[in-house]
Structure 1
């Protein structure tokens, strides 16, 4: 609910917007570019067999972004924090996959930013539950 807006809501809403739009990248900029942007190697990005998978992954990222916005607009900031905390699993998986198959630095970047998002949720920053 917008009447309950606080500055602490900006980071998760910015993330939700980035994920909502970013998840469409394989459709708007092509699957090869989306795979490279994700952080995987050129070898994987040029493999047409991987292209349907990045489209599927993108739909899930867009879904999470839309869910964050829907939860926020419904006034459920504690639920937003729960969803953001669950992003910790994405940090683990993305970090491991990018460490094995990604471009140099992609594992650290992905694991770091997603860990920050998960920590934000775990600390209840959106809802102001703990801070």
Structure 2
């Protein structure tokens, strides 16, 4: 299963793991998942926000499963593409929303970490280009 594993694959596997299993968290405790994401309690405690979080996280989990599938098929260029695009676009949007909702520390963390993962993807690190 991991016969082709190399250390340079860690960012893609880390991302796949966080997205797959982190995306499932809201089904067990949506409020805690929203707080960890960086949203304020006034949003996380709103029952209507739970449905939105569940819908969003189903897509997040799907991306994580796609990353695993592509990795185990040895389609490492595709893994890099997902890292690059998700890290750049979703990371930027996530950071902006969290910043606007009053959590600049979490927003900065999201921006830096997603930016690093995006750079790994754009560099083709997983595929070894």
TM-score (normalizing by structure 2): 0.93
Tell me the residue number matched to 1:84. 83
C-alpha separation in 2, matches of 1:84 and 1:94: 15
Superposed CA offset, 1:27-62 (max 9, x none): 12x111111011101111111121111111111111
Tell me the residue number matched to 1:4. 4
What CA RMSD, in Å, does the superposition of the two structures yield over aligned residues? Answer: 1.3
Q: 1:37-76, aligned counterparts within 5 Å?
A: 37-76=36-75
SS of the residue 1:59 aligns to: helix
Aligned pair count reads 128
C-alpha separation in 2, matches of 1:89 and 1:11: 17
C-alpha separation in 1, matches of 2:5 and 2:102: 38
- Whether the 8 Å CA contact 1:91–1:111 is kept in 2: the answer is yes
- Whether the 8 Å CA contact 1:40–1:106 is kept in 2: the answer is no
Superposed CA offset, 1:79-98 (max 9, x none): 11011101110111011101
Shift of 1:117: 0.8
Find runs of 4+ consecutive structure 1 residues off by over 3 angstroms. none
Tell me the residue number matched to 2:114. 114
Shift of 1:102: 4.3
Shift of 1:23: 0.3
Unaligned runs of 5+ in 2: none
C-alpha separation in 2, matches of 1:102 and 1:53: 20
Q: 1:123 to 1:43 in 2, by over 3 A?
A: same
Unaligned runs of 5+ in 1: none
